[in-house]
Chain A
């Protein structure tokens, strides 16, 4: 049964299309600026008569894109697998094994759920300096794993709390120890939750800006977002190149997003609802 009237549907459609256009305009405007001849002052949204696609090649070299991509990947590879594994283990311990005193540990973790990163960035700087890690990728990787723990453990615990106990009991009867139970029974079952967490941690790490600019001076050792900040500092006056470079730097996330968009949207929605 459909009670939504035709005119209501039409209004809805028009609203949505308007929203889509507004969402896309900044990207289109950047693209039109990026295609103008170098050295000119571009205006608003105007398709150039002779689009300079070569600007993207220039920006690729100027931004040192190869090194940036490698750096961001290294940071993601450092943060995401470790973060996901230890969060899954902790979620299993708190949600399924229900360790004695687990509530206290969980409460402590919940404290961090709304924590603005600005609240810890200054001591982290001195901590990393004392560890001799300033200006290395570890200075971003290690704190991010810790900072993502509240959400990650919360997320995995919520999953493990819903898994029926009988499953584990059956495995116990078959003679598996906790280690085998975890890897052979629980992890395969937790795959959807783990996949969502992986996507979220990837996205947040890739886009992390504050820690990158505070803890690492060398842009080629930063995350993509941090590198983009440095790129703006360097080419801020060359609008054509800045727009071309920005588009290049955000392309990898866009590609990954478009491939996995269903999972991304699902993960982000669930992530917000749970968090």
Chain B
């Protein structure tokens, strides 16, 4: 977690100019003032403790019980976890989330890198502003709206099929979100659409900070665009690629809105993801214990995917 990027450079106030160069290190305000400082932190910490930490602990507790949400809860130890890791449906549901990572993360980052390296240093001017604004739209609207728009686009009479028919591929038209083979990739495409703009713009921003001399040197050494990309661009973008991967992988694993709206998890459980299954188990099936175990597993999976990326992409910036 670096704070290297700061939009916080306020106008210098009078006092800042009078600092002497040989100032001793940080000074504390004395012991009492130090402890009193906790009053500043307390409100935030309280809200966090009541509405995040407590529920989090409760989720862990529920996960050890069989409970329908109303009656007596029955202690079952790790049985719910055993179910999560052995039930073939639940395993498939977890697998679905990992398939979505390809569409939510890898494709947008790869495409974003391609686009960004093509548009390097040309995002200024009115054209650049329009492009940036438009590419950000999917990040600004509710995911639910993206789900509705794409459900229509991918429906039998939707634009996708219309285009396919127009180019003579009428044979492959189908209800993309409704068929077993195409439903999950179709949901993935919606995620790609949502994430691509953010990734592209983050990567373009990162590229604009690369020292042009590096490219100059590469060109003089006779590097073509491809060599240039792997020798200069990609290594310099380590942090930005890490950010893109982190944000998008969390979005893929914790996806809910798009799936709920576009397919409700169907056909069958073809597009069901852990987030949706937790919701369904807890609030329709009344299996609060199992839902909680799945929630804990999901949380661990997110950490297991995100922490290594943080480590790999941030270590030189520490």
- Using a CB–CB cutoff of 8 Å, the interface residues on chain A facing chain B are 1-4, 8-9, 11-13, 15-16, 19-20, 22-27, 29-30, 33, 41-45, 86-87, 89-90, 92-94, 97-100, 102, 105, 108-110, 112-127, 142-143, 145-147, 149-150, 152-154, 158-159, 161-162, 164-167, 169-172, 178, 182, 185, 188-193, 196, 203, 206-207, 209-210, 213-214, 224-225, 228-229, 232, 239, 242-243, 246, 249-250, 253-254, 257-258, 261, 264-270, 272-275
Contacts and interface: CB of A to CB of B under 8 A. Distances in A.
Interface residues of B, number: 125
Given A125-B283, A225-B257, A250-B141, A4 B120 contact: yes
Most buried by B among A118, A145, A258: A118
12 contacts: A13-B122, A33-B152, A44-B162, A97-B37, A108-B48, A118-B256, A118-B279, A126-B58, A127-B55, A228-B145, A246-B149, A274-B1
User: Which 8 residue pairs are nearest across A and B when measured between Cβ atoms?
Assistant: A146-B51, A44-B162, A93-B40, A170-B15, A116-B254, A90-B44, A225-B142, A158-B3
Interface of B: 1-10, 13-16, 18-19, 23, 26-29, 33-41, 43-45, 47-56, 58-59, 62, 69, 114-115, 118-122, 127, 130-146, 148-150, 152-153, 157-159, 161-163, 193, 196-198, 200-202, 205, 212, 215-216, 219, 225, 239-240, 243-244, 246-247, 250, 253-254, 256-257, 260-261, 274-275, 278-279, 282-283, 288, 291-292, 295-296, 298-299, 302-303, 306
A27 B159 CA distance: 11
A28 B137 CA distance: 13
Given A20-B131, A185-B13, A162 B299 contact: no
Contacts of A268: 136, 139, 198
Max chain B C-beta neighbours (<10 A), residue from A109, A178, A188, A250: A250
Contacts of B253: 116
B260 A229 contact: yes
Contacts, number: 372
Given A26-B193, A122-B291, A209-B257, A253 B142 contact: yes
A150 B47 CA distance: 11
Contacts of B27: 165, 169
A246 B161 CA distance: 22
A41 B282 CA distance: 37
A269 B158 CA distance: 33
Given A12-B122, A114-B303, A250-B145, A19 B200 contact: yes
Nearest to B139: A268
